[in-house]
Structure 1
Amino acid sequence: MSFKFFDKLSQDFSKLLNDKKQYNVVIEVDKGENMKSFTAHSVVLCYRTSYFDKELEDAAMNENHIKTIIIPNISAQIFEIVLRYIYGGIVNIENEETKTIYELMIVANELNMDELSRKLENYLIEFKASWLRTHFSLVYRLIFASNEFKCLKQFYNDIIVKHPNLIFESEDFTSLQETALVSILKRDDLQIEEIKIWDYVIRWGISQNLTLPTNLEEWSKENFITLKTTLQQCLPLIRYFHISDKDIWEKVKPYKKILGKQLWEDLNQHLIFPNQPVKSLVLSARIISTPVLPPRVNKPFSTIINEEHSAEISSWIDRKSTIYSSKNIPYDFQLILRGSKNGFDPKTFWNMCNGHAGTIVIAKVTGTDEILGGYNPLAWDNSNAENTKIETNDSFIFSLKTDNIKNSILSRVKNKSGALWYYDSNFQSIDGPCFGNREFLLRSDVSDFTRDKLCYCGCICADYEKSITTNKYFSIVDYEVFKIVKKH
């Protein structure tokens, strides 16, 4: 039998971080005013990661026998977490923003800390999938610049095969790394017509060579060779024999010089004698799935409110003095976002609700089961350069009756110039929908409305008629955003 005392060992090694006598390494991270120095011990660094083993081997030693390593591309905040991991084997990310966890994963990979990098990668996929989807472009391009992050690559490619326009129709598609494009083209289940794949590949290849003439009729033999060389990893992955005869003639033929002579001859033969064998490799057709709709089940439209609530809200929208019957509601409540499904990051709200007009935001408060909400007749907009007050006469906030609360509260806007706040990109990582002077606001400093009790209902009543709750600060159990659409 062996006794293991890893906790005590971790604690003792962690104390070394505060040792200012025995250190022999200084590590400078970040740059400019944010530059910070950390002291460390070479024997610990070398045995914990090969990165520092190499850096210390190359670093010069001063007269005090101390070596200095400079890493300007890592922030002090991230490196402090890294050092705690190196010395104590502990990483506490409970109160860290998702962006910080993502940056920590990148740094751990750069510093050859495979164990930590893989752990954070799996954590992001399992618990922060909504953030990964929201920051698709940022993360996808970076991970394909590395040979690592296989799980994240699989995660994103699984999304792309179902929604290929996310990448092919993005503004920066042509700046996609070749390795990323190749990994997509290899997928048998890519849900897009083959001729469109051909068009995108040609577009990508041309964009890598800005000197190519814009008019194809002006291309020289050398121009075609240039494009063929650029696309040498991509061209073998096109399923040529599953492109229609018309598209082969109209779209592939103009670029036949970038194909092998044998392939072009076989394509011509296939056009005339489709059942005869060819010499070229024939890849199988991509598997384009046809979604099978499950039997319709009358599921509740909301996990928070019922038909009676929707009838009451509809009456408020139409400014009726009496409440609509639940069997005679003139609006459909079409779900845009549900926190328990799509995530509780404020940015998720701004990205998914952007452009939607005539919406209801509904939140269930933790602990009290209060149902709070607000109606915005205008379109949400996530493109503001600065925090902006939005004017309307028709918005309102409310608290709905429940088993524990006898009566609903309706509070209409009274100061139309301050009816809503639309936040700029910096604040969108903290603040979600905001009605009035924070008279109903979903907010979180840790990118999760359920965690830090920063959601707020102010009692000043500067912009709305009355307060909808006495519970000033709170977190939420769940929230939903519905688009309110008039029934035909």
Structure 2
Amino acid sequence: MIFKFFDKLSQDFSELLNDKKEYNVIIEIDKEENKKSFTAHSVVLRYRSSHFDKELEIATTNENNIKTIIKPNISAQIFEIILKFIYGGIVDIENTDTKTIYELMINSNELELEELSAKLESYLIESKASWLRTHFFFVYHSIFDSNVFTNLKKFYNDIIVKHPNLFFESENFTSLQETALISILQRDDLKVEEIKIWDYVIKWGIAQNPTLPTNLEEWSNENFKVLKITLQQCLPLIRYFHISIEDIWEKVKLYEKILEKQLWDDMIQRHMFPNKSVKSLVLPARIISNPELPPRTISTSELPSKVNEPFSTIINKEHVVELSSWIDRKSTTYSLENIPYEFELILRGSRDDFNPKTFWNMCHGHSGTIVVAKVAGTDEIIGGYNPLAWDNLTSGFMETNDSFIFSLKNGDMRNSILSRVINSKEALLYLSDHDIYGPDFGNCEFMMKSSVSDFTQDKLCWCDPSDACYEKPIRTTNKYFSIVDYEHLRNMRHRHAGTIIVIKVAGTEEIAGDYNPLA
């Protein structure tokens, strides 16, 4: 039999951290007016962190045998959390903003606290995916400088593969590290035509050498040599034998000098004599097809054990309380303990697709649903409730008295906005062009639209404030916008509302019962 008392051990070591009598290490954190000193014990630091073990070997010692370690690039707030983890093995991030949690992960990795770093990485992916997507390049840049964070790298690379335009067309693309670009070029499932990948690689390579002439006709052999050296790790990853001869002649030939002569000869030979073998390595074609996704739903009760993701990355439980109260037309808001609905995830753009057609395919037949969308470049969360079934075979205005559109309290939005339908005959508009149009409440009073089949790519979503189908506008501007992410949620009443109790009276043939419409 083994008895374990880890809670008491953690508590005792946490109290040791606050003991100023026996410390023998001072750690100076941050710089200038934010500088702060922490006391610690060398024996604890050595055994909890290999990084501090090495630091203590070279740290200076004063006349009182106290060593000083200087860490100017860590904030006092973050280091205090780290020190509590080192001593007590406990990290409390309940009320910590996501950016601080991210910085905590980075600093934990730098201090070789692998257990904490890995835990925070998993937490960010599982619980803060929306923030990670919103701060795509900020995070993406920093994680590829290290050999860790493999799960985060995969998280971002999966997004890039699914939505490559977000990556390649960004103004931040050319500032990307070479290691990050290589990790993307290695993917067989990158859904981009190979000639476009060639164009992007050339664009990136030129951006790394700003002294190259802007006019290609002015390039010297030395200029081509510089570009070739810059792209020496990227060029072998391009699938040259899956580029058409027209594109090779019109685009690749312009930079023929950066390619090996054997490769160029083999490309031309392959198109002239397709059955003849070549000496160069022939990489397989990328998988650029985008098959239709079948409808699928994930219940909130299934999520923790099966797919390990929250029912929503956009709204929280407080929002659910508010939305549930609006659905039931309550004069007072439900409490957190008395929410009559369970919200079921039908679709998440970042998980399933941002194509309008995906919305109609996956949401077809679902009634009593909520669409919530995160507006790009703002803290706004907007959406609409549709009590009717979405129908991808129907077009035209749909009539209901119970739909509403809304803007939820979040970030800079101090109060939520509820706008109920007032023109019931034009409550919703089902448009037949599913390559362009998604959900449309009223006559564009909340509309999701994209001409490139991706709601995140072009600013065509709109909340028209001038129409009169709903009580009031849910945005303070009439500008078009794109979205960061969106979700389609089905509200399911639980706690057994709308039940019938039936009993048979003993000794008789009587059957009695009662109906309760409430939960």
Q: TM-score, normalised by structure 1?
A: 0.67
Q: Deviations over 1:65-110 (max 9, x none)?
A: 1111111111111100000000001111122111121111011001
> For 1:382 and 1:68, how far apart are their aligned partners in 2?
53
Cα deviation for residue 354 of structure 1 reads: 8.2
Residue matched to 1:58:
58
Cα deviation for residue 271 of structure 1 reads: 2.2
Cα deviation for residue 29 of structure 1 reads: 0.9
Give the letter for the 2:266 counterpart: D
Question: In structure 2, do the counterparts of structure 1 residues 354 and 101 end up closer, same or farther at CA, with 3 Å as the change threshold?
Answer: farther
**Which of residues 462, 474, 477 is equivalent to 1:357?**
462
Residue matched to 1:299:
366
Give the letter for the 1:35 counterpart: K
The alignment status of 1:41 with 2:140, answered yes or no, reads: no
Residue matched to 1:481:
none
Cα deviation for residue 282 of structure 1 reads: 0.3
Residue matched to 2:208:
208
Question: In structure 2, do the counterparts of structure 1 residues 358 and 264 end up closer, same or farther at CA, with 3 Å as the change threshold?
Answer: same
Contact 1:359-1:377 at 8 Å conserved across structures: no
Contact 1:28-1:68 at 8 Å conserved across structures: yes
Cα deviation for residue 380 of structure 1 reads: 6.2
Contact 2:461-2:481 at 8 Å conserved across structures: no
> For 2:472 and 2:121, how far apart are their aligned partners in 1?
35
Residue matched to 1:228:
228
> For 1:207 and 1:83, how far apart are their aligned partners in 2?
42
How do residues 13-28 of structure 1 correspond to structure 2 at under 5 angstroms?
A: 13-28=13-28
Contact 1:23-1:40 at 8 Å conserved across structures: yes
Question: In structure 2, do the counterparts of structure 1 residues 330 and 119 end up closer, same or farther at CA, with 3 Å as the change threshold?
Answer: closer
> For 2:404 and 2:123, how far apart are their aligned partners in 1?
41
Residue matched to 1:376:
475
How do residues 32-431 of structure 1 correspond to structure 2 at under 5 angstroms?
A: 32-292=32-292, 294=294, 296=361, 297-300=364-367, 302-303=369-370, 304-307=385-388, 308-309=400-401, 323-325=423-425, 329=427, 331=429, 335=439, 356-358=461-463, 375-376=474-475, 378-379=477-478
Secondary structure at the counterpart of residue 153 of structure 1: helix
Cα deviation for residue 205 of structure 1 reads: 0.7
Contact 2:459-2:481 at 8 Å conserved across structures: yes
Residue matched to 2:321:
none
Contact 2:402-2:420 at 8 Å conserved across structures: no
Secondary structure at the counterpart of residue 291 of structure 2: coil
What 5-or-longer segments of structure 1 have no aligned partner?
338-350, 361-371, 384-401, 403-488
Greater relative contact order: 1 or 2 (C-alpha under 8 angstroms, separation 6 or more)?
1
Contact 1:354-1:379 at 8 Å conserved across structures: no
Q: Deviations over 1:236-255 (max 9, x none)?
A: 00000000000000111111
Secondary structure at the counterpart of residue 285 of structure 1: coil
Contact 2:14-2:87 at 8 Å conserved across structures: yes
Question: In structure 2, do the counterparts of structure 1 residues 354 and 256 end up closer, same or farther at CA, with 3 Å as the change threshold?
Answer: closer
Contact 2:404-2:420 at 8 Å conserved across structures: no
Contact 1:356-1:379 at 8 Å conserved across structures: no
Secondary structure at the counterpart of residue 187 of structure 1: coil
Question: In structure 2, do the counterparts of structure 1 residues 373 and 80 end up closer, same or farther at CA, with 3 Å as the change threshold?
Answer: farther
Question: In structure 2, do the counterparts of structure 1 residues 23 and 317 end up closer, same or farther at CA, with 3 Å as the change threshold?
Answer: closer
Cα deviation for residue 291 of structure 1 reads: 2.4
> For 2:68 and 2:112, how far apart are their aligned partners in 1?
19
Give the letter for the 1:298 counterpart: G
Give the letter for the 2:424 counterpart: Y
Q: Deviations over 1:369-402 (max 9, x none)?
A: xxx996337336999xxxxxxxxxxxxxxxxxx9
Cα deviation for residue 290 of structure 1 reads: 2.6
Cα deviation for residue 25 of structure 1 reads: 0.7
Contact 2:182-2:234 at 8 Å conserved across structures: yes
Secondary structure at the counterpart of residue 251 of structure 2: helix
Question: In structure 2, do the counterparts of structure 1 residues 380 and 49 end up closer, same or farther at CA, with 3 Å as the change threshold?
Answer: farther
Question: In structure 2, do the counterparts of structure 1 residues 83 and 313 end up closer, same or farther at CA, with 3 Å as the change threshold?
Answer: closer
Cα deviation for residue 169 of structure 1 reads: 0.8
Cα deviation for residue 274 of structure 1 reads: 1.7
> For 2:125 and 2:197, how far apart are their aligned partners in 1?
28
Cα deviation for residue 301 of structure 1 reads: 6.5
> For 1:374 and 1:129, how far apart are their aligned partners in 2?
29
> For 1:261 and 1:336, how far apart are their aligned partners in 2?
56
Contact 2:462-2:480 at 8 Å conserved across structures: no
Q: What's the Cα RMSD here?
A: 3.1
Contact 2:430-2:440 at 8 Å conserved across structures: no
The alignment status of 1:4 with 2:4, answered yes or no, reads: yes
Question: In structure 2, do the counterparts of structure 1 residues 86 and 309 end up closer, same or farther at CA, with 3 Å as the change threshold?
Answer: farther
Question: In structure 2, do the counterparts of structure 1 residues 33 and 235 end up closer, same or farther at CA, with 3 Å as the change threshold?
Answer: same
Question: In structure 2, do the counterparts of structure 1 residues 233 and 2 end up closer, same or farther at CA, with 3 Å as the change threshold?
Answer: same
> For 1:18 and 1:127, how far apart are their aligned partners in 2?
32
Secondary structure at the counterpart of residue 298 of structure 1: coil
> For 2:138 and 2:272, how far apart are their aligned partners in 1?
46
Q: TM-score, normalised by structure 2?
A: 0.63
Contact 1:124-1:132 at 8 Å conserved across structures: yes
> For 2:258 and 2:170, how far apart are their aligned partners in 1?
26
> For 1:289 and 1:134, how far apart are their aligned partners in 2?
26
Cα deviation for residue 312 of structure 1 reads: 7.1
Question: In structure 2, do the counterparts of structure 1 residues 185 and 22 end up closer, same or farther at CA, with 3 Å as the change threshold?
Answer: same
Give the letter for the 1:183 counterpart: S
